[in-house]
């Protein structure tokens, strides 16, 4: 029995048959260890280099030249990887006026500190440290980074780029793999979300290789305007939801918007140093028990399907990720998979749980000037690489990837 079939049988034993069964036929045709071979094509140095490349555009704040230049740079990389089926979503962004009190990512009015309920439905435990978005340029000590981040945002036209690996057997169905390319806070957005963007780009590289074939399609999307309230992901759902599965032009065999089978988001993949200490400081080192947090939202319309999908990822992590395990939680929140969660199975991968952990100050660089490339060590980058291994392995199984 080959490894792929054993993997799928394991999914079936776990009661995940409805996610896995449809893909069994195509996966059975896979080479014995195609998934392992594909995972081996990920590489820590290439992952780091992609994050480093993104940081040349500073915090990539939406509505600026550095954001538009980053979108163009990402598209050029995708093209270099051979991911040639490239498109852009165009939309208009007007900031709410007056600013929404329910801001994104720690900005705006937050519930009183005595509440025990975290965003997404979880419960805070233990020590909490303060969170927020830095808006003061002078907090950035590096004059070079400060200069890159100087141009203010202006309302108006926005673009975000995607590319698609077209499935050979079922091109009309796809998984969406996403990360957000915009950031803020007067740093380099290296972790939030250069780490997730680079993960998606590296998966696009591996799946776009000329010798890799998939039965179903995969779309790699780099969302814009996540930090202002998931506006880029919302625009995608609004514009594309009704187009799912339609052959256009009829008889062409082309599906501009394949039917969505699942949406997998990646946001902040590097830092899991544990809970803040009583004095508010954190361990300077990645904790050895660091994990990848896979979350679904228990209140979503597609919660049962998303839960199944989350455990497919956990099983893939256990089998294929080299260093760090994965944990599943039920409180996905504040992420680009949210606009999809009532339409399709939607999950997110992060360094920590967004609500109870990042929301409690477990990442001191979150939206801060310290979110620069030089803040992170190889132990940090390796957590992101393990998340990439997890998603690559899970998606390779789900789409029936083969190497020829
Ligand atoms: Zn983020």
Interval 188-243: pLDDT, tens: 999 999 999 999 999 999 999 999 999 999 999 999 999 999 999 999 999 999 99
Q: Dump the DSSP string for 54-101.
A: HHTTTT--TTSHHHHHHHHHHHHHHHHHT--EEEEEEEEE---SSPPS
Longest dimension (CA), the chain: 65
d(C-alpha 235, C-alpha 181), whole Å? 15
**What separation in Å is there between the alpha carbon of 188 and the centre of ligand 1?**
12
> pLDDT tens digit string along 290-346?
999 999 999 999 999 999 999 999 999 999 999 999 999 999 999 999 999 999 999
More confident residue, 100 or 45: 45
109 pLDDT band (50/70/90 cuts)? very low
How many CA atoms are closer than 13 Å to the CA of 127, on its beta-carbon side?
A: 12
- Can you tell me the mean pLDDT for 260-286? 96
Distance 264 CA to ligand 1 centre (A): 14
Per residue in 4-33, pLDDT tens? Answer: 555 555 555 555 545 554 454 445 554 478
Question: Tokens 């690559």 appear where?
Answer: 392
In angstroms, what is the span from residue 95 Cα to ligand 1's centroid?
18
Vertex 274: Cα angle to 269 and 280 (nearest 5):
115
Contacts of 242 (CB under 8 A, 6+ apart): none
How remote is the CA of residue 256 from the centroid of ligand 1, in Å? 28
d(CA 325, CA 162): 29
Give the Å distance between the CA of 227 and the centre of ligand 1. 7
How many Å apart are CA 183 and CA 181, to the nearest integer? 7
Q: Which residues surround ligand 1, an ion (CB under 5 A)?
A: 192-193, 267
* CA 102 to ligand 1 center in whole angstroms: 16
Q: What is the mean pLDDT of residues 173-195?
A: 98
Q: Tell me the residue length of the chain.
A: 404
212-213 and 402-403 strand pairing: antiparallel
The CA 38 to ligand 1 mean position distance, Å, reads 27
**Would you give the DSSP letter of residue 352?**
S
pLDDT at 104 over 80: no
pTM: 0.90
For residue 384, the CA-to-ligand 1 centroid distance in Å is 14
In a 3-state reduction of DSSP, which class is residue 327?
strand
* pLDDT for the residue numbered 169: 97
pLDDT at 116: 86
pLDDT of residue 12: 52
Please tell me the distance between residue 382's alpha carbon and the centre of ligand 1 in angstroms: 18
CA of 168 to the centre of ligand 1 (A): 33
Is the Cβ–Cβ distance between 351 and 50 less than 8 Å?
no
């Amino acid at each position: 029995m080959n490894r792929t079939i054993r993997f799928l049988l394991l999914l079936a034993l776990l009661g995940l048959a409805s996610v896995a069964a449809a893909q069994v036929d195509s996966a059975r045709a896979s080479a014995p260890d195609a998934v392992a071979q594909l995972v081996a094509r990920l590489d820590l140095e290439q992952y780091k280099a992609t994050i480093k490349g993104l940081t040349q555009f500073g915090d990539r704040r939406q509505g600026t030249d550095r954001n538009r230049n980053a979108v163009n740079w990402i598209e050029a990389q995708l093209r270099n990887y051979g991911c040639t089926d490239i498109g852009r979503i165009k939309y208009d962004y007007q900031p709410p006026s007056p600013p929404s009190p329910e801001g994104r990512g720690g900005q705006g009015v937050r519930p009183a500190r005595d509440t025990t309920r975290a965003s997404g439905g979880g419960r805070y435990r233990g020590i909490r440290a303060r969170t927020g978005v830095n808006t003061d340029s002078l907090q950035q000590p590096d004059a070079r980074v400060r200069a890159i981040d100087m141009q203010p945002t202006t309302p108006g036209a926005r673009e975000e780029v995607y590319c698609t690996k077209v499935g050979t057997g079922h091109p009309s169905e796809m998984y969406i793999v996403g990360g957000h390319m915009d950031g803020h806070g007067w740093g380099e957005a290296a972790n939030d979300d250069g780490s997730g963007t680079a993960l998606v780009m590296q998966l696009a590289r591996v799946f776009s290789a000329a010798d890799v074939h998939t039965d179903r399609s995969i779309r790699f999307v780099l969302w814009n305007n996540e930090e202002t309230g998931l506006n880029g992901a919302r625009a995608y759902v609004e514009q594309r939801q009704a187009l799912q599965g339609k052959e256009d032009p009829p008889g062409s065999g082309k599906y501009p918007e394949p039917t969505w089978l699942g949406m997998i988001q990646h946001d902040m993949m590097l830092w899991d140093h544990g809970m803040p200490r009583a004095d508010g400081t954190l361990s300077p080192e990645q904790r050895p028990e660091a994990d990848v947090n896979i979350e679904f939202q228990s209140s979503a319309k597609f919660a049962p399907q998303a839960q199944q999908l989350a455990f497919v990822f956990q099983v893939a992590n256990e089998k294929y990720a080299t260093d760090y395990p994965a944990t599943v939680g039920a409180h996905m929140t504040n992420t680009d998979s949210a606009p999809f969660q009532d339409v399709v199975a939607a999950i997110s991968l992060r360094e920590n749980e967004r609500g109870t952990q990042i929301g409690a100050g477990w990442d001191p660089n979150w939206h801060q000037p310290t979110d620069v490339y030089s803040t992170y060590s190889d132990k940090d980058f390796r957590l992101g690489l393990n998340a990439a291994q997890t998603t690559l392995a899970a998606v390779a199984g789900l789409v029936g990837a083969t190497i020829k």
